Structure 1
Amino acid sequence: MLDLFRSQPKNLKNELLSGLTVAIALMPEAIAFAFVAGVSPIIGLYSAFFIGLICAVLGGRPGMISGATGAMAVVVVGLVAIHGIEYLFPTVILCGLLQLLVGVARLGVLIRMVPHSVMLGFVNGLAIVICMAQFGSFKTVSNVGNLEYMQGPALWIMLGLVLLTMIIIWVLPKLTKAVPASLAAILLVSAIGISANQMLPDHMAAENQKHVVMTVGDMLATNAKVSAANAVLADEQPAAADSHGAAAIDAESLSTEQTAAITAAIEHIDPSTTSIRAGLPTLFFQTFSLPPMTLETLRIIFPFAVVLAAVGLIESLMTLTVIDEMTETQGNSNRECLGQGIANIVCGLFGGMGGCAMVGQSLINVESGGRGRTSGAFAACCLLTFVLFFSQWIEMIPMAALVGVMFMVVIGTFEWASLKLYRKVPLTDFLVMVIVTLYTAIVHDLASAVIIGVIVSSLAFAFKHAKNVDADVQFNEFGAKIYQLHGPLFFASVAQFKELFDPRNDPETVVIDFYYTRVYDHSGMEAIHAIAARYEQLGKTVHLTHLSPACREMLAKAKDLVHVSLSDEPQFHVSTERLQGQAVEG
């Protein structure tokens, strides 16, 4: 997969064309995620503009695309549903402040602790999630707001255009690289789709769908109908939204009154929710009421802000690492934290739902030739231009073209070579990759998947090294017994460390040589003191030798914390000379 996106020289034409491609592909996702969050599609588009522009200019990874994302939307939806939209914008601002603190504290480098097996699982799981999300575009809405898969001619036309898009993206680079393949595919398939919608009879369209070839405008109408139906059933039959704002409603279980209410709600949908046209964004308090500025409000928004900040940074930093590997360049994780923080603060001030890096759109950008900051900034500006001036044209783009682009992203994202890693890498690493992949694919929570992967990898590492502590035993010419330790001494290896010694049968003088080991934590220091105390109770002397300066400093600082008691603190000496073959001074 990485060979597909190797570093290419920056070119202004490629940057601009790539940015245009990203903007077109970004629009339906921003709209869909807004519906998932339970807010107006315009809020999702404004969020994509502010997050995309500011992160492109100030972020730590040129070529990476940021915007409104599903990971943030699934956190936001609970806040909006329970407390109302007026609490959303202060939460996003607080989220940005927390991300700024992470950047100032230079904690972005913690992403280096993510093992390669977790990275593989993240990439593979992400590819599966992107693939599954595209199936929502093959659905149409019924009279009661229930989503059903297309059937008949509409389905076959959709599949044919998706396949055509993928073929163009695959073949065109072999012929010319003057135009990004994704952009060329979108334009050509859009021309075919618009012509088909004008020439083909309406009875070929899917149920309740205006056009034979589903367009971005049709998707807006579909999501608006689903949201209207869910609003009617919110207190009686909550429906779980997917990554496209789609929800499953059991039409057969609806009463006559519920069906009538849903039908009426669909007939009276606000036209603003079925169009992307809007004016310039304004400060949120000019449109929405402010929540009370009290500690109770802070208590409400703070947990959501913490989760948003964590999810946004984890997904952004993982995306940064993926793009680093693909382009063979190095991003700045701390700067990315700062950029994300500033972007979310501004986004919240102007009535946005927040956002972070988008792996799928970043891959489209890289594949289309976007390597610098220009492509991301231009994509954001194009997005706002579409909203202000060209909304009717964007709404005519077939969803099949965008689905085909994303399917090609899936093929390029999945690490196919990882399928051959079984028995070629340690079993624990392979299992971690599988766990992260499956968790990501099933739960659709990328941030939690990464955290779980890191935890499992850490536990596996600790368990593996817990039994790596052993000792070579020797006696010097004066009868002193020398334990020359090997392996790390930390919480998981303490039990093994204590089993190495035999205080009752050992001679009067014992040397513990740390030349080949290190003490890493409080548990290790406590184990040393416990062993020394056992020897002291038997009237024997223990010498510690070749402790590193850091280990000696730790023991000195913890002297009053890890001894048995103040009255019987074990007394031992710390030597700086190797004692093998030398006399031991008490």
Structure 2
Amino acid sequence: MLSIPQRLSRLEEVKVNLLSGLTVALAMVPEAIAFALIAHVSPLTGLYAAVMVSLITSAFGGRPGMISGATGALAVVMVALVVQHGVQYLFATVVLMGLLQILFAVARLGKFIRMVPHPVMLGFVNGLAIVIFLAQFGHFKTTAPDGTVTWMTGPPLYTMVGLIVLTMVIIYLLPKLTKAIPSTLAAIMVVTFGVIYGGFETKTVGDLGSIAGGLPSFHVPDVPWNLQTLTIIFPYALILAAVGLIETLLTLNLIDEMTETRGRPNREAMAQGAANVVTALFGGMGGCAMIGQSMININNGALKRLSGIATALFLLSFILFASKWIEMIPLAALIGVMFVVAEKTFEWGTLNLFGKVPRQDVFVGLLVGGVTIVADLAIAVIAGVIVSALVFAWNHARQMTVQAETDARGKKVYTLNGTLFFASVANFQALFNIAEDPQQVVIDFKQARVVDHSALVAVDSLAARYRAAGKQLQLRHLSKDCQELLENAKDMIEVNLLEDPKYRVSDDKLA
């Protein structure tokens, strides 16, 4: 039985998660509408996705405290499909997207997100922080009756900027006075009531579109279920599944680091896949983790599943019962919240790394951040991982060294040190002076490792060159795989069952 202090602590935890859920729900409304408009679907399509994806991933996912919903990263991929084929094809695509994510989880591939290098993570976080910041400036534009889009000027601009500043001041200063209520929620409420009772004219959530609606209804996508449809939707589904998983699992990684806890990537991927299948069957546009809303939640101290579930239920209540009041919230208050999120998400410590860490790490971080801003998150992360891998291969290739000496019988013994693989082959071949070597030569691989097919070809090629020069070559301390796969050098291998290494070689012949 819980003691009174434990009960109070539990009640405080529930309060924190419920209030944070309300705050996040308020912040999600304009974003869900905006992303729906980007994808050329109705605002309710984005809101239904936010409700169902948040509810299912929060209840069953692998990272309590992380918030999921409709996102811009997915919306920009969806727009071409909707324009060309219509919204029903989008729903079919999101169903297939969810099934692909479920297959990813079944194959237990989530563990590979741990292999993303730290510079890539820093670039991802900083790039998304800048994207969140820049995305808010779209609200500073106005559309004239003739469709002309212009930037705000004069009193409307000054009013919005003033309200944004007020929101940010409350968020930063209120925690120094009290933590009884999340500062983000307090800021939204203060600015909203100030605008309503102060009679200020400014843009509100309702200017983006109405959020009034009923419960989502079950609906199988109205598309021909044939091979032609599959050829249309599969490429989009594959891209959406990849983008969604990358953004989700990297956000999960970030929250793990911030909270010093460990999420479950495969469980999160499974929940996200199921959520996307369900939301598509109930008229939603699909979704994935939202780093901005997740940061609001984590910074509020909400680390339980209840916060995400509360977010979904509050959003649903907004749609069903409170649309009139939610549409009165000034966009300036929500823009201020997202500006603070961007500031807190950005890793300011990375600015001190210039000149202190290897230049290639700085380059990778800048590359990932830059591509995230101008192109696509998935492309940015993939590019960062590839560049990091190439840098690693290049640095590792240069570590191939040799120590040469002549023994008492006149044999020249080359003792290799390092890893022989595709990137170090050229360096390996340059280590030997066949023309000036004596008649008998030994290459000792005891402190080296032969990794792949390129390495085997390099050893075979070297053996052929020594044979052509009429010299005797002896190869020591090669693994059993090497002994089986080498062709020209088979008769030059010295076998020592007690001392030969036991590592494997990556080559299709052994598959």
Residue 300 of structure 2 is matched in structure 1 by 368
Query: Is the Cα contact below 8 Å between 2:59 and 2:305 reproduced in 1?
Result: yes
Partners of 1:319 and 1:413 lie apart in 2 by 11
Counterpart position of 2:480: 552
Q: Distance in 1 between matches of 2:442 and 2:32?
A: 66
Q: Which residue of 2 aligns with 1:90?
A: 92
Once residues 330 and 412 of structure 2 are traced to their aligned partners in structure 1, the CA distance between those partners, rounded to angstroms, is 81
Which string of whole-angstrom CA distances, capped at 9 and with x for unpartnered residues, describes residues 389-442 of structure 1? 111111011111101111111111111111121110001111111122222222
Deviation at 1:577, TM superposition (A): 5.9
Question: Could you say which residue in structure 2 is the equivalent of 1:447?
Answer: 378
TM-score (norm 1): 0.80
Q: 2:364 aligns with which of 404, 429, 432?
A: 432
Alpha-carbon deviations, 1:100-130, whole Å to 9, x = none?
Answer: 1111111111112211111111111111111
Note if 1:339 corresponds to 2:260. no
Counterpart CA distance in 2 for 1:563 and 1:80 is: 56
Structure 2: which 5+ residue stretches go unaligned? 1-8, 501-511
Question: Secondary structure of 1:11's partner?
Answer: helix
| 1:279 aligned onto 2:214 | yes
1:72 pairs with 2:74: yes
Q: Is the 8 A contact 2:398 2:427 kept in 1?
A: yes
> TM-score scaled to structure 2, two decimals?
0.92
Residues 338, 543 of structure 1: alpha-carbon distance in 2 compared, 3 angstrom cutoff? farther
Residue 322 of structure 2 corresponds to residue 377 of structure 1: no
Shift of 1:467: 2.2
Q: Distance in 1 between matches of 2:490 and 2:450?
A: 20
Q: Contact 1:543–1:574 (CA<8 Å) still a contact in 2?
A: no
- Give the Å deviation of 1:15: 0.8
Give the CA deviation at 1:532: 2.3
Change (3 A) 1:454 1:478: same
Aligned residue among 193, 204, 224 for 2:195: 193
Q: Which moved more, 1:401-410 or 1:521-530?
A: 521-530
Distance in 2 (CA, whole Å) between partners of 1:539 and 1:55 is 69
Is the Cα contact below 8 Å between 1:277 and 1:391 reproduced in 2?
yes
Structure 2 counterpart of 1:16, one-letter code: L
In the other structure, the counterpart of 1:534 is 465
1:217 aligns with 2:201: no
- Distance (whole Å) between structure 1 residues aligned to residue 448 and residue 304 of structure 2: 46
Deviation readout 1:464-518 (Å, 9 max, x if unpaired):
2222211001233333322111222111100110111233443444332223222
Answer yes or no: is 1:574 the counterpart of 2:495.
yes
Partner Cα distance (1:76, 1:83) in 2: 11
User: Equivalent residue of 1:544, what SS?
Assistant: strand
Look up the SS of the partner of 1:331 in the other structure: coil
Give aligned-pair identity as a percent: 55
C-alpha deviation, 1:578, in angstroms: 6.4
In structure 2, how many angstroms separate the alpha carbons of the residues matched to 1:284 and 1:512? Answer: 70
Cα distance in 2 for residues equivalent to 1:383 and 1:546: 66
Q: Give the match's secondary structure for 1:471.
A: strand
Q: CA deviation at 1:556?
A: 5.1
Instruction: Note the C-alpha offset of 1:539.
Output: 4.9
**Closer/same/farther in 2, CA of residues 545 and 11 from structure 1, 3 Å limit:** farther
Between the aligned partners of 2:320 and 2:472, the Cα distance in structure 1 is 83
**Contact 1:533-1:569 at 8 Å conserved across structures:** no
Whether 1:466 and 2:394 are equivalent positions in the alignment is: no
Q: Check the 8 A contact 2:61/2:272 in 1, yes or no.
A: yes
Is 1:295–2:227 an aligned residue pair? yes
Looking at structure 2, the residues matched to 113 and 377 of structure 1 have their Cα atoms a distance apart, in angstroms, of 30
Cα distance in 1, alignment partners of residues 471 and 99 from structure 2: 58
1:518 is paired with a residue whose SS is: strand
Whole-angstrom CA distance in 1 between matches of 2:423 and 2:465? 21
> For the Cα contact (< 8 Å) 2:401–2:417, is it kept in 1?
yes
* 1:563 equivalent in alignment to 2:495: no
Q: How far apart are the structure 1 equivalents of 2:386 and 2:114?
A: 14
The AA in structure 1 aligned to 2:382 is I
- Asked if 1 retains the 8 angstrom alpha-carbon contact of 2:474 and 2:492, the reply is no
SS of 1:482 mapped into structure 2: strand
Are 2:351 and 1:419 aligned? Answer: yes
Partner of 2:27: 25
> Cα offset for 1:40?
0.8
One-letter code aligned to 1:110: F
Matched, 1:139 2:67: no
Root mean square deviation of aligned Cα: 2.0
C-alpha distance in structure 1 between counterparts of 2:428 and 2:401, whole Å:
7
Deviation (angstroms), 1:571: 4.2
1:311 match: 243
Q: Which moved more, 1:152-161 or 1:529-538?
A: 529-538
Which residue of the partner structure matches residue 254 of structure 2?
Answer: 322
One-letter code of the match for 2:211?
Answer: I
- Matching residue's letter, 1:280: L
For 2:437 and 2:67, the matched residues in 1 are separated by 65
**Worse-superposed segment, 392-401 or 479-488:** 479-488
Instruction: Please state whether the residue corresponding to 1:279 is helix, strand or coil.
Output: coil
- Alpha-carbon distance, 1:375 to partner: 0.5
Match of 1:234? none
Structure 2 residue 134 is matched with structure 1 residue 115: no
**Distance 1:170-1:113 versus aligned 2 partners, 3 A rule:** same
Alpha carbons of 1:393 and 1:69: their partners in 2 closer, same or farther (altered >3 Å)?
same
Distance (whole Å) between structure 1 residues aligned to residue 410 and residue 289 of structure 2 = 65
In 1, the alpha carbon distance for the partners of 2:373 and 2:26 equals: 26
Structure 1 residues 377 and 541, CA gap change in structure 2 (3 angstroms):
farther
CA contact (8 A) 1:277 1:387 kept: yes
Separation of aligned partners in 2, 1:69 and 1:574: 60
- Structure 2: which amino acid aligns with 1:355? G
Aligned counterpart, 1:519: 450
Query: How far off is 1:569 after superposition?
Result: 5.9
- How far residue 142 of structure 1 moved from its aligned partner, in angstroms, is 0.6
1:134-173 aligned at under 5 Å gives the runs: 134-173=136-175
- The SS at the match of 1:148 is strand
Equivalent residue number for residue 399 of structure 1: 331
Partners of 1:92 and 1:145 lie apart in 2 by 32
- Counterparts of 1:380 and 1:185 in 2: how far apart (Å)? 21
TM-superposed deviation, 1:86: 1.5
SS of match in other structure, 2:293: helix
Secondary structure of the corresponding residue to residue 444 of structure 2 = strand
Letter in 1 for 2:59: V
Find the aligned partners of 2:442 and 2:146 in 1 and give their Cα distance.
81
User: Residue 55 of structure 2 contacts residue 312 of structure 2 at CA under 8 Å; is this kept in 1?
Assistant: yes
Change (3 A) 1:408 1:41: same
